[in-house]
């Protein structure tokens, strides 16, 4: 599938040139590059029978399964302290020097999703369970949100980008924000939830 990237704190340069990140970054890109429209349709049709109205779950599952197959740890805790071993203090995925958040949730979670890789990358007063050095956020662009019939309240790529400057002093680790763009060959009809052939036209 296609996507666009925003590099923060020179992350893209670091990811491409630093041996600590290059192979991991290539794995993430390979996972996304390997997801086809047919893959999304197949999983979406299964989700539709369960009452799911958008392709967000299909994308989540495809990304998760393929990262796990590459030995990325799912839902790893940031801290060792049992008081902080709840869902709020977990990374979606982590492997060696990189943590990943897949952000198809409410826009109110944008700041927290951006801060979690920082918590995983910085020393803390609470004993750490994991230590990464950079983060990747995977989310949907505005066009993907519409074409995939995502909830209108989700935090999109464009909203994540707008959060970077106000949070700049707090976001101390390199970050890449990945915005998934709309499928090339189909979109989801908002009323019927059915698959429509053709690329979504902005409207």
CATH of the domain at 167: 3.40.91.20
Query: Would you give the end-to-end CA distance of the chain in angstroms?
Result: 22
Structural domains counted in the chain: 1
Q: 47 falls in which pLDDT band (50, 70, 90)?
A: confident
pLDDT, average across residues 42-54: 86
What the block records as the tokens of 66 is 């393929």
What the block records as the tokens of 11 is 């992350």
Asked if residue 203 is part of any domain, the answer here is no
Q: Provide the residue range defining the domain that includes 75.
A: 3-197
Asked if residue 7 is part of any domain, the answer here is yes
Dihedral sign, Cα of residue 3, residue 4, residue 8, residue 9: positive
What's the pLDDT at 88? 83
What's the pLDDT at 50? 79
Q: For 4-59, give the DSSP string.
A: EEEEETTHHHHHHH-TTTHHHHHHHHHHHHT--HHHHHHHHHHHHTTT--SSHHHH
Spatial separation of the C-alpha atoms in residues 175 and 8, rounded to whole Å: 5
Strand-pair category, 134-140 with 98-102: parallel
Q: Which residue has the higher pLDDT, 89 or 174?
A: 174
Q: Which residue has the higher pLDDT, 142 or 130?
A: 142
Asked whether the predicted pLDDT for residue 9 surpasses 80, the reply is: yes
Strand-pair category, 90-95 with 73-77: antiparallel
What's the pLDDT at 166? 96
- Indicate yes or no: pTM above 0.85: yes
Q: Is 201 left (phi over 0), alpha (psi -120 to 50) or beta?
A: beta
Asked if residue 158 is part of any domain, the answer here is yes
Residue 165 burial by CB count (10 A; 0-12/13-18/19+): exposed, middle or buried? exposed
Asked if residue 31 is part of any domain, the answer here is yes
Asked if residue 131 is part of any domain, the answer here is yes
Spatial separation of the C-alpha atoms in residues 44 and 77, rounded to whole Å: 29
Tell me how many degrees the CA angle 179-143-28 measures, rounded to the nearest 5.
Answer: 20
Q: Is 149 left (phi over 0), alpha (psi -120 to 50) or beta?
A: left
Instruction: Specify the 3-state DSSP secondary structure of 157.
Output: helix
What's the pLDDT at 203? 62
């Amino acid at each position: 599938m296609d996507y666009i990237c925003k590099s923060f704190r020179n992350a893209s340069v670091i990811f491409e040139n630093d041996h600590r990140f290059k192979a991991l970054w290539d794995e993430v890109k390979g996972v996304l590059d390997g997801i086809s429209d047919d893959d999304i349709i197949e999983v979406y049709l299964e989700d539709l029978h369960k009452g799911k109205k958008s392709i967000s779950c299909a994308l989540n599952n495809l990304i998760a399964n393929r990262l796990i197959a590459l030995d990325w740890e799912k839902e790893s805790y940031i801290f060792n302290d049992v008081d902080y071993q709840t869902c709020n203090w977990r990374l979606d995925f982590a492997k060696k020097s990189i943590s990943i958040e897949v952000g198809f949730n409410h826009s109110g979670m944008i700041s927290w999703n951006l801060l979690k890789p920082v918590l995983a990358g910085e020393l803390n007063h609470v004993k750490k369970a994991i230590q990464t050095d950079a983060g990747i956020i995977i989310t949907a662009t505005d066009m993907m949100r519409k074409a995939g019939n995502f909830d209108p309240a989700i935090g999109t790529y464009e909203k994540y980008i707008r959060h970077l400057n106000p949070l700049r002093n707090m976001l101390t680790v390199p970050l890449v924000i990945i915005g998934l763009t709309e499928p090339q060959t189909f979109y989801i009809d908002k009323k019927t939830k059915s698959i429509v052939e053709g690329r979504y036209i902005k409207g």
